[in-house]
Amino acid sequence: MRKISVATGRPYEIFIQRGIIDSCGKIIQSVSSKSQKVMIISDSNVFPLYAERIKKSLSDVGFTVYSHIFPAGEQSKNLHTIYEMYQSLVENSFTRKDLIVALGGGVTGDMAGFVSATYLRGINFVQIPTSLLAQVDSSVGGKTGVDLPQGKNLIGAFWQPVAVLIDPDTLQTLTPHFFADGMGEIIKYGCIKSRSLFDTLEKENAENIIEEIIEECVTIKRDVVQRDETEKGERALLNFGHTLGHAIEKEHNFTDISHGQAVAIGMVMMAKAGENNGITRKGTAERIACLCQKYHLPISDTTPIDNIVRSSFNDKKSTGSAVSLIVLDEIGKSRIYPVEKSEMLDFITKRVKIYE
């Protein structure tokens, strides 16, 4: 078993092991020994695959197990779904001593985490991420959130889990589309913090070394989060490609383009804009574009660029008259670069040729 300790305000550990969902009960009991009830929150795709195994493991150590299932997809990431989760907790008399288990991908983890942060002003929760994107990124760090029609994750809270249990075997049930979705975030880590990871992704097939990749990405995020838990500075670097990516998702009404795909497009656009504004080393955007294509991710979008830029103004990283963009100096080195909203369109489009 690989174990990574996270020294945030509420410290916890990340466990990485094949088959860990079958022994999750003992681990969860060790981190939440006073809990009597567990609510598994999951979506309609993931729940049928793993819930019975997790229920058995939890029941075997004495927990009374309940479940709440919502329709799979980003479209469910809204306040109505959150309200229904609250109702399930109230109807089953959950108290502050009880526990939520988030079983699924990033949408599940974000919403279950937000419910945990706000129900009774905070109860414990455990992340059991089953998608590649959630395993390498969204399950770690304590960001929770819900979408509004105006933008992604505009409501949220920082609320750390009491444990994260990562079972790489769950990736076997992912379609190629959702494996590629997670690769968008993995490539991001190489871009912002690890040239060696980026080089490895170019040379190797990520599927063949996925456990090592998960551990490296989680370790990078752990280190950043420990230094900046509530995103006052360095943690913003984790948003490379996300300001434009979130805007692209919104322009597609959160339906026909996934998060990792949108981030891939956003990374290519930001790298090219960085090059053309004299910030980023020449050739960086082409390397990123080629790597995204290797892992079956798109690198362009048909949405008019002015629409994307306008939608980006509702991004969480928008402060007053400026947007804090994340740019690269080169692969593996990133920084925060504020741009005035009035200059944003020119910054992004300045001699930019979006790769076809």
pLDDT at res. 243 = 95
pLDDT at 315 over 80: no
pLDDT at 40 over 70: yes
Segment 21-46 shows an average pLDDT of 96
Number of neighbours of residue 314 by Cβ within 10 angstroms:
15
Annotated catalytic, 235?
yes
Pick the catalytic residue from 185, 215, 249, 251. Answer: 185
Pick the catalytic residue from 188, 242, 272, 317. Answer: 242
Q: What is the C-alpha to C-alpha distance for residues 289 and 264, in angstroms, rounded to an integer?
A: 8
Annotated catalytic, 68?
no
pLDDT at 317 over 70: no
Annotated catalytic, 121?
yes
pLDDT at res. 316 = 63
Segment 230-235 shows an average pLDDT of 94
Annotated catalytic, 195?
no
pLDDT at res. 152 = 87
Pick the catalytic residue from 37, 152, 222, 259. Answer: 259
- For 296-306, the pLDDT digits (tens) are 999 999 999 99
pLDDT at 139 over 70: yes
**Stated pTM of the model:** 0.92
Segment 188-199 shows an average pLDDT of 98
Domains in the chain and their CATH numbers?
A: 2-173 (3.40.50.1970), 176-349 (1.20.1090.10)
Pick the catalytic residue from 215, 231, 251, 275. Answer: 231
Tokens 């005035």 belong to residue: 340
Annotated catalytic, 222?
no
Annotated catalytic, 242?
yes
Burial of 71 (0-12, 13-18, 19+ CB in 10 A): exposed
Annotated catalytic, 239?
yes
Segment 140-157 shows an average pLDDT of 93
Pick the catalytic residue from 37, 55, 68, 143. Answer: 143
pLDDT at 134 over 80: yes
- For 78-130, the pLDDT digits (tens) are 999 999 999 999 999 999 999 999 999 999 999 999 999 999 999 999 999 99
Pick the catalytic residue from 74, 239, 250, 251. Answer: 239
Annotated catalytic, 2?
no
DSSP-derived letter for residue 135 is: I
- For 245-261, the pLDDT digits (tens) are 999 999 998 888 999 99
pLDDT at res. 33 = 86
Annotated catalytic, 80?
no
Pick the catalytic residue from 235, 250, 316, 317. Answer: 235
pLDDT at res. 356 = 45
Annotated catalytic, 231?
yes
Task: Give the whole-number percent of the chain exceeding pLDDT 90.
Answer: 92
Asked if 308 and 247 touch (Cβ cutoff 8 Å), the reply is: yes
pLDDT at res. 355 = 47
Q: What residues form DSSP beta bridges with 104?
A: 129
Burial of 149 (0-12, 13-18, 19+ CB in 10 A): exposed
